Amino acid sequence: MDALAPRPVALGEPEVPGVAVRPVGRRDRTYARCLLPALVLLAVVTVAPTVYLIVTSLTPLDLTRPATALDFTQPLGNYALLLHDHRFWNSVWVQAKLSAGTVAFQLVGGLALGLLLGVRSRFVAACRTLFLIPMVLPPIVVAIMWKVLYTPDISPVHTALLALGLPIPALITHPDLALPAIIVADVWEWLPFTALMVLAALKMMPEEPLEAARIDGAAGWQILRHIVLPYLRPALLVAGLFRLIDSVKAFPLIYILTDGGPGTVTEVTNYYAFRQAFNFSYLGFSSAITLALVAAVFLLSWWFVRVVGTRGDVE
Amino acid sequence: MTVTPPPTRHRSTRRAFLRTSAGAVGLGLVAARAPAVLGQAKEFKGVTLNGACFQHAYTNVLKEFLKEFEEKTGMRVNFETPAFPVYNQRADLELSTRGSAWDFLNITFIYSGRWIGAGWMSSLEEFLGDRNATPADWDAGDFVSGAQASLTDAKGTRYGFAWEAGAMIMAASRYDLIEKAGMKMPETFDQLGQVCAAIDGKDGVKAFVNDNLHHWHWPPYLLGWGGKVFVNPPENLTPALDSREAVESAEYYANLLRQYSPSGALSYTMDQGALAHRTGRANLRTQAIAWLAPLATAADSTVKRTVRFAYMPRGQAGAFPGSVSHGFGIPAGAKNKRAAWEFIKWALSKEMVRRAALEKGYIAVCRKSVIDDPQYRKNMTLNGQDLAALYLRVLEESGRLGYMRYRMVPVYPQVGDKMNKAIERIVTNQQPAREAMAQAQREAVLDLKKAGIKIDA
């Protein structure tokens, strides 16, 4: 047996006789050299702007006063302002409502749509492409389309409801309905994304557990509850995470439909940061808002993966 | 033997001298003018000029005639005209970074103080003082002084020339409904409220309409009420948005929108507001003359026969119709400044302004020579009303009283945003006027402190 045991290979000695192997240190250096361009690129396009953002957030940079770019006398001044900025906290609350609404509806609706599209049928197969259309439309086109639907003067929906004797108020100028109106438009646009992820996961699902369950006499809902949903959980988690991060970046719908109004009922945090930077030139303050937003998204994503993701032994 | 100089030679020398002198003087004159004339053809051939302005009737006119300019100078002009808010955001960002994407652009009224004050625009004095660059007959003094005020700094340095002088008036698209109610065009805020109450919904027409630019529409009501936007602009920029006058006028104006405007009017852009007016879905509107004259002139107007114009109604403190001017200028970071000046000269030449006014029906002209033109006055008589007189009255009054100073300060965009939001909150009953204006005041103070503005305690 000892004769059959593999002989330890010395560093630098060929594992296969006659084939030269580079020493580990040299190999690492080669890998490092190959990686270097990518790392430099990453540093330039990602790390440098982030560092600039952090540095800027420590200054009261106002583009109309260029000297403020190097004013570090009150490095935490912007953050102190944020704490007392009522409009910022309002935007955080609006953001929370928007994210919760869009992610929840997109997960539930996307799951239902994905399961429906997973049915083996020629008709359903033909419909799959149609359901993907909202997702591939440019966001600005989606926003303009919903603007038409929500504007009473030109909306076919408003006109039809009026003809039926069921007039409704203008949704995007109503303080209670403006945010739900944006949620509806966002769900319509991104529901197919979740459905597509669910559909892809369903296609990968092995048949055996389903067959075994059927043989054991499990009902359809039991199969869904105990086999399909646990199997889809990782896909739903990823979809939810993507949608959560994207919901924080919601912009075109708000820009076109409501401009953050009426008042500030649809002004989310990134829209507030945009307004501070590009309407008023307060780049320092806007950078602080953006960093707060990045930190919140990071923490939220971490929580989502740790708490939601590990529940049910999903790995 | 006496040698006398040949007389012929003497005569010939004198003639030659005279010829040479005359030739030299002629050449000198030609040389003095030549760079301006010959230089243009050579200097700008092949130059691509980039510029921008928000979309407007005048930019549409310029685009129609742009080919003539390109053929004359050999330049190619990329003239972008996005919507008003989009343009302002892009221009503000472009200028703040000293970008060179645009060689000329529009100096928007509410940004004029900010852009000029921050040194983001080029002085035009160099071109104006150079007779090769600017011939005397271009006549910079022909522009209405009120329209030039926002394009000139405190030292008198000119940074732009106006292509629009906006003057706010009032128009009723369905004056017949007002007459039917036994009333006349309102002259006071009280009368405006009474007329709206009397005609609202009659014949399916809402009584009032405006668009979502409340920081343009509401201040005339505020000033009429006796209030102020700032305590004493430009010296003291402490906002005065929570005064009794501000609260009452905001409630009054919000009520016009809440009670008498079409559903969804709160989100109307200028175009949407104009369309609702032109198609007779709403009756009264207080807006700049360029938006109201099309009621009588636009091909798609359904109210040409029933339109009526009037001066802005007055409150207890008087009438303070808004007036603005927008002008073309050259960014500090522009690459082709000399070529850009050629474009501005062409776009605002007497000939071009006259053509825009007389051939294309453009109204809000800024050249006195055109405003005084009998043909222009005749064209401005719409539905039997002398619109030019109303226009001039607004410009003269705002210039004389100087009440538009609040809109020319560098921080107006910030404070204007607070007004917009407050009016929206009042219209949608999210807050009573007092709370909404108090919040606007707090937010405005916070923003002005960020800009380093000293605020009264």
* pLDDT tens digits for range B387-446: 988 988 998 888 888 899 898 888 898 999 999 999 999 999 999 999 999 999 999 999
d(CA B369, CA B353): 10
Cis before B234 (ω within 30): yes
| Min Cα separation A121/chain B (Å) | 44
pLDDT of residue A174: 96
Q: In sequence order, what are the residues at sequence separation of 6 or more whose Cβ sits closer than 8 angstroms to the Cβ of residue B220?
A: B168, B286, B312, B319, B320, B321, B322
| pLDDT, tens digit (0-9, with 9 covering 90-100), for B49-94 | 999 999 888 899 999 999 999 999 999 999 999 888 889 888 988 9
d(CA B248, CA B259): 16
d(CA B263, CA B281): 11
Contact between residue A59 and residue A71 where contact means Cβ atoms under 8 Å apart: yes
- Domain boundary assignment for chain A: 48-84+281-315, 87-280
State the DSSP code for A268.
Answer: -
Q: What residues of chain B lie within 8 A of the CB of A261, using their CB?
A: 212, 266-267, 420-421, 424
| Smallest CA–CA distance from A77 into chain B, residue | B450
| Min Cα separation A176/chain B (Å) | 10
A28 touches chain B (CB under 8 A): no
pLDDT of residue B409: 87
pLDDT of residue A41: 92
| pLDDT, tens digit (0-9, with 9 covering 90-100), for B163-203 | 998 899 999 999 999 999 999 999 999 999 999 999 999 99
Other Cβ atoms closer than 10 A to B104: 27
Higher local confidence (pLDDT), B269 or B330: B330
pLDDT of residue B9: 43
pLDDT of residue B85: 80
Instruction: Name the β-bridge partners of B77.
Output: B49
Question: Which residue from B266, B428, B452 is facing A65, i.e. has the nearest CB?
Answer: B452
d(CA A25, CA A43): 25
May I ask the CATH architecture of the domain B167-320+410-450? 3-Layer(aba) Sandwich (3.40)
pLDDT of residue B22: 57
Higher local confidence (pLDDT), B25 or A166: A166
Q: What residues of chain A lie within 8 A of the CB of B430, using their CB?
A: 175, 262-263, 265
With CB atoms and an 8 Å threshold, state whether A280 touches B414: yes
Q: What is residue B316's three-state secondary structure? A: coil
Exposure letters B26-63 (e unless 16+ CB within 10 A, then b): eeeeeeeeeeeeeebeebbeebebbbbbbbbbbbebbe
With CB atoms and an 8 Å threshold, state whether A280 touches B262: no
Task: Identify the band that residue B6 occupies on the pLDDT scale cut at 50, 70 and 90.
Answer: very low
Max Cα distance, chain A (Å): 94
Q: What is residue B118's three-state secondary structure? A: coil
pLDDT of residue A311: 58
pLDDT of residue A65: 84
Q: What residues of chain B lie within 8 A of the CB of A81, using their CB?
A: 446, 450
Q: In sequence order, what are the residues at sequence separation of 6 or more whose Cβ sits closer than 8 angstroms to the Cβ of residue B339?
A: B43, B44, B47, B49, B73, B75, B103
pLDDT of residue B34: 46
With CB atoms and an 8 Å threshold, state whether B428 touches A81: no
The percent of residues in chain B predicted with pLDDT above 70, rounded, is 91
Model's pTM, two decimal places? Answer: 0.82
| Min Cα separation A177/chain B (Å) | 11
B278 touches chain A (CB under 8 A): no
| Min Cα separation A260/chain B (Å) | 9
pLDDT of residue B2: 37
Q: What is the mean pLDDT of chain B?
A: 89
Q: In sequence order, what are the residues at sequence separation of 6 or more whose Cβ sits closer than 8 angstroms to the Cβ of residue B36?
A: B131, B132, B133, B135
State the DSSP code for A282.
Answer: B
Contact between residue B427 and residue B257 where contact means Cβ atoms under 8 Å apart: yes
Q: What residues of chain A lie within 8 A of the CB of B262, using their CB?
A: 152-153
pLDDT of residue B171: 97
| pLDDT, tens digit (0-9, with 9 covering 90-100), for A80-136 | 999 999 999 999 999 999 999 999 999 999 999 999 988 888 888 888 888 889 999
In CATH terms, is domain A87-280 a member of 1.20.1370.20?
A: no
Cis before A262 (ω within 30): yes
d(CA B348, CA A154): 38
A residues 278..297 contacting B (CB < 8 A): 278-282, 285
B210, pLDDT greater than 50? yes
Contact between residue B290 and residue B363 where contact means Cβ atoms under 8 Å apart: yes
| pLDDT, tens digit (0-9, with 9 covering 90-100), for B272-329 | 999 999 999 999 999 999 899 999 988 999 999 999 999 999 999 999 999 989 999 9
Low-confidence ranges of chain A (pLDDT < 70): 1-24, 309-315
| Min Cα separation A184/chain B (Å) | 18
pLDDT of residue A21: 57
| pLDDT, tens digit (0-9, with 9 covering 90-100), for B30-49 | 444 444 444 445 678 889 99
B456, pLDDT greater than 60? yes
Between the two ends of chain A, the Cα-to-Cα distance in Å is: 40
d(CA A272, CA B195): 39
A265 touches chain B (CB under 8 A): yes
Q: What residues of chain B lie within 8 A of the CB of A64, using their CB?
A: 96, 114, 117-118, 410, 451
May I ask the CATH architecture of the domain B44-165+324-378? 3-Layer(aba) Sandwich (3.40)
pLDDT of residue B343: 97
